[in-house]
Amino acid sequence: MDSAVQHNLLLQDVEYAFEETAWGTWRRFVYSNGTRFEEFRSHHSWAGLPLLHYTYGLCPETGKRITARGVVAIGRFARGIVAIGHVAMGIVAIGQLSIGLVLGLGQATLGGFCIGQAALGIVFGVGQFATGQIAIGQFAIGSYVLAQLGWGEHVVDMRTVDPAAKNFFLRLIGR
């Protein structure tokens, strides 16, 4: 059972394997139990951020996950213009928990335009539970709502069909 435990190597020298490529630098470490830590940073940057930053696993120096930060950030925790991870924050965010300034895709997402199981959109939301000016979902709240159960100004759901909402959604699909 001890072989599955990863120890903090803060007080020890960590011998990373570094690999320089044309695109960037890999930093890798393999724990004695076979689990690994990897990090990639591109050589090029924009506004102080690497164009691509990727992280995987626990950092051997801290025993914690490193947040990927870059124009494109990929990791368990990611923050960037395009962020992809379990917890993602960015202009476009994709993840289980995502906060996207413009677009959020994920299980629970918040942003301008959202698609997810719980989509808390400001302008547009599609999901099992959705909010937004335009909200489409099983349960939805907004100005124009298409839902199984909906609440808002103009609603099409199992209980009612508002003519303005019906016309809006028909125009939305091109009819």
- pLDDT tens, residue order, the chain (175 aa): 445 555 555 556 778 888 888 999 999 998 888 889 999 999 999 988 999 999 999 988 888 899 999 999 999 999 999 999 999 999 999 999 999 999 999 999 999 999 999 999 999 999 999 999 999 999 999 999 999 999 999 999 999 999 999 999 999 888 8
Q: Which of the 8 DSSP states describes residue 16?
A: P
CA torsion angle for 163, 114, 116, 156 (degrees, to 10)? -10
- Give the pLDDT confidence score for residue 100 in this predicted structure: 96
β-bridge mates for residue 39, sequence order:
27, 55
What per-residue confidence (pLDDT) applies to 6? 53
Counting other chains too, the contacts that 140-149 makes at CB distance below 8 Å and 24 or more residues apart are 144/168, 144/169
Give me the pLDDT at residue 10, please: 58
The reported pLDDT for the residue numbered 1 is 44
